[in-house]
Copies of this chain bind each other. A is one copy, B any other.
């Protein structure tokens, strides 16, 4: 029922699911390979994969036995696009900090110039 962006954000709101995506960013993996580093059962991993798959964050191969999981980045890009509106807030404050540092530096240069003139 939820919109695609809400479904993606909801799927990402879990540290195990984010860790699974991080693993898949290094390459495709089977459920067994994904379960290995986590201290949770295979069925629990399968449930997480189902959430990630229905949110469009991963796809799964057709082979019944292996069904390797693959990262799909389009949904992550949609989050990135949504965030871009807000990025100016931290980029602006970063720019302001840069301007302030420049100001301090120029102040120092001016002081030095004055001293040299004396």
Number of interface residues of A (CB under 8 A): 28
Surface stretch bound by B, among A12-20, A38-46, A58-66, A106-114: A12-20
Interface pair B83/A80, CB less than 8 Å apart: yes
Interface pair A80/B87, CB less than 8 Å apart: yes
Q: Quickly give the copy total for this chain.
A: 2
Interface pair B83/A79, CB less than 8 Å apart: yes
Interface pair A76/B83, CB less than 8 Å apart: yes
Q: What does DSSP make chain A's interface, helix, strand, loop or mixed?
A: helix
Known contacts A80-B87, A83-B76, A87-B80: A6-B2 contact under CB 8 Å: no
Shortest beta-carbon distance, A82 to chain B, in Å? 7
Q: Report the Cα distance A108→B29, complex, angstroms.
A: 41
Shortest beta-carbon distance, A76 to chain B, in Å? 5
Could you write out 7 A-B pairs with CB less than 8 Å apart?
A: A5-B15, A6-B13, A6-B15, A7-B13, A9-B12, A10-B13, A73-B86
A interface residues (Cβ-Cβ under 8 A, vs B):
2-3, 5-7, 9-10, 12-15, 18, 21-22, 25, 71, 73, 76-77, 79-80, 82-83, 85-87, 89-90
